[in-house]
Amino acid sequence: MRSGALRHRVTFKRATDTDDALGAPIPSLADLATVWANVKPLAGIERYSAMQTQAGVDHMIECRYVSDISDLAPDDVATWGSITFDIKSVINVRGRNSQLQVFVKQHI
């Protein structure tokens, strides 16, 4: 993966519970990692291919493999600027721990 293509700053987050002053749980998002990535909207045949395995996918985030985000799950989210994405699936490209493709749907 060429570093010039990684021009977007993306933060991956996981849902957690924190306690308020009275000890009641409050749902929140904790940062897992902030990475340089390529966020690209899927169109045409790319979108059709992605939707064969996961319905409702409209973007793909490509980034270098980072162990902090190797276990991303559909409950996790990604943020890019003010845009939030729901994670649908993650592919470790060729199983080589060098590149991740994260298929997401923009949260509205």
Q: Tokens 């979108």 identify what position?
A: 47
The mean per-residue pLDDT over the stretch 22-37 comes to 92
In tens, the pLDDT along 64-107 reads 999 889 899 988 999 999 999 999 989 998 888 999 999 999 98
Q: Could you give the number of structural domains in the chain?
A: 1
Domain limits at 64?
A: 3-106
- Average of per-residue pLDDT values in the chain: 86
Nearest CA to 104 out of 7, 4, 23, 10 is that of 10
Please determine, for residue 63, whether its predicted confidence score (pLDDT) is greater than 90: yes
- Backbone angles phi and psi of 44, in degrees to 5: 60, -130
Question: Quick one: DSSP state of residue 93?
Answer: G
In tens, the pLDDT along 16-25 reads 988 888 888 8
Q: What residues form DSSP beta bridges with 85?
A: 78, 106
Quote the pTM value: 0.81
Check which CATH number belongs to the domain holding 64 and give it: 2.40.10.270
